[in-house]
Structure 1
Amino acid sequence: MSATWSLTYPRPIEEGDLRDEYPLALLTLALEKTGVKYSLLPSERILLQGKALRQLKENREINVMWSMTDLQRERDLLPIRIPIGKGLIGWRVFLIAKNAQPLFDDVTSLQDLITLNPVQGEEWPDTKILQANGFNVVTVKDHKRGFSAVTTNRAHFFPRSVIEILQELKIPSIANELMLEANLAIHYPTAMYFFVNKGNTTLARLIETGLQRAIVDGSFDALFLSSYEETLKRLDLDNRRVFHLENPSLPELTPIEDKKLWYYPEQPRETTE
């Protein structure tokens, strides 16, 4: 009788958090492609990202998670270097206060945008990326406090990944106070990966094998498009003014050259920066 692989991932703050829906569906798809028996369950307690990263490093409570990569995370953990959201985590549009659009209508250059203060989580890789590009970043403990930082005018905008923002705007407490900025986007090269403990190379190989099979047979792209195609149409990145930022925390082994692993908007209107 073959053994069952037990995979445990960080339990989210709220049951049914839609941000976990696609990574879980993709992880399930990858495991199905390998043909192994498996169980995939959340941890017993809620684990915020910083805590989850520490627990995985110490091989406690969880044995897999998904997170945006950076140099430190790849030092501490074992990444499976297939960007699970095809790089969309690095395409950001903004949540702003309901009356703030005129402030952003005046932004025509990156220098203009840098005069406005974004909010990000204190342990998020994005914070260092924005700071490295000249932004004065307001930091908070978690994403819920990010929304209130904009509502209370501590920050001018909350850059959210294109794969998060429309779901967030379905939440009445957010939609009542904040709105989607109409014309701008920022982009930096980055990836969200599945990570396992450094010592768990067998599990890493299993997940990577499943993901590669899903890429080859088209089921990876099919899941990606069924999850995000409508969102991408609605956010209309092609017609936004996109500011491209440097990512000094991008690990050298990120497979930037492998075009099939990334999503690119058709013809973004590049800035003159």
Structure 2
Amino acid sequence: MHSLNLLKKAVTAAITLCLLAIVPMADAATWTITYPRPIDDSDARAQYPIALLKLALDKTGVNYELRPSDRILLTSKAMRQLRENREVNVVWSMTDNQREKELTPIRIPIAKGLIGFRVFVINEDKKSKFDNVLSLNDMRKLVPIQGEEWPDTKILQANGFNVFTVPEFRAAYDMIKQGKGDFFPRSVMEVSAELEEEGLVTNLYLEPSMALYYPTAMYYFVNVNNKTLENLIHTGLNRAIKDGSFDDLFESTYSPILESLDVSERKIFTLENPLLPIETPLTNSALWYKVKQQ
């Protein structure tokens, strides 16, 4: 009888140990995926990348928690933190050779290349400067404003522009208001929400008839050692492309914006992009928005 009680106690103890071991495993099965916190929760520019990331992760069936970083992280800071495996484990940003050396890109352009489709925010007092812009050579005589660490700055410089640089995008809007530089080339993905945020009572003006285009991609990036997350996002995006849900989200988000910007009526000047990595999947037309070339 004594032996039976000892056996029962031993079995109970073993079961308890097994249950204690299972709990951490269950917790570990939930992926915590942290992205850079935007400037505010209503930041429209972050809504599509977050929605697409959720869509991709949902397609994998993995249990996950998607959450913003504890503090606001602009792109350049977020990329540095991701390199060091701190604060965030996924960032979306425009690609270039340097970023692809330091981080792992998931080479599916999340907005079909719209990040390289640029319209011009200008000061109302400078409208007349654009009246006689008939060619790319004419455009090069004007001074664009861009961020100091943005790939766009190097692209514009490589195409013969004299670029005025600022620390971040809000400073660019301030410079335009003050009459500094001539234009702020802003992606069609971003400009409408930003101008709405700036408000109507400003001297900002969206030039109505022209645009720049250069081939580039906005990707999700992960740390070079995070192969599992890379595979998860890549798998989920491919599944969303295959079942049409990627295109559905893209169209519902950007078709109204592109229509409101009259992109089909604009004269588009095409630039070369010497920063574009050779691995960019330019030959897969399904991944790109077709921009009318000049």
Distance 1:174 1:252 in 2: 42
Matched residue, 1:49: 75
Contact 1:81 1:254 in 2 (8 A): yes
Report % sequence identity: 57
Moved >3 Å (runs of 4+): 172-175
Matched residue, 1:178: 204
Aligned-residue RMSD, C-alpha: 1.2
Deviations 1:209-245 (CA, angstroms, capped at 9, x unpaired) = 0000000000000000000001111212222111100
Distance 2:202 2:67 in 1: 34
Q: Which moved more, 1:212-221 or 1:100-109?
A: 100-109
Structure of larger gyration radius: 2
* Equivalent residues, number: 268
Contact 1:87 1:263 in 2 (8 A): yes
Deviations 1:5-57 (CA, angstroms, capped at 9, x unpaired) = 11001112223211000000000000000011100011111112111111100
Q: Which has the higher helix share?
A: 2
Which ranges in structure 2 are unaligned for 5 or more consecutive residues? Answer: 1-25
Contact 1:12 1:47 in 2 (8 A): yes
- Secondary structure of 2:65's counterpart equals strand
2:135 aligned residue (109, 118, 143): 109
Residues 1:240 and 2:266 aligned together: yes
Q: Which amino acid aligns with 1:65?
A: V
- Secondary structure of 1:39's counterpart equals strand
Contact 2:97 2:275 in 1 (8 A): yes
- Secondary structure of 1:95's counterpart equals strand
Matched residue, 1:118: 144
Alpha-carbon distance change, 228 to 155 in structure 1, aligned in 2, over 3 angstroms: same
Contact 1:239 1:269 in 2 (8 A): no
Distance 1:193 1:217 in 2: 20
Q: Which amino acid aligns with 2:87?
A: E
Contact 1:168 1:174 in 2 (8 A): no
Contact 2:59 2:240 in 1 (8 A): yes
Contact 1:101 1:182 in 2 (8 A): no
Matched residue, 2:243: 217
Matched residue, 1:141: 167
Shift of 1:172: 4.0
Residues 1:73 and 2:115 aligned together: no
Distance 1:131 1:269 in 2: 21
Matched residue, 1:207: 233
Which ranges in structure 1 are unaligned for 5 or more consecutive residues? Answer: none
Deviations 1:169-219 (CA, angstroms, capped at 9, x unpaired) = 212447622011011100000000000000001100000000000000000
Residues 1:227 and 2:253 aligned together: yes
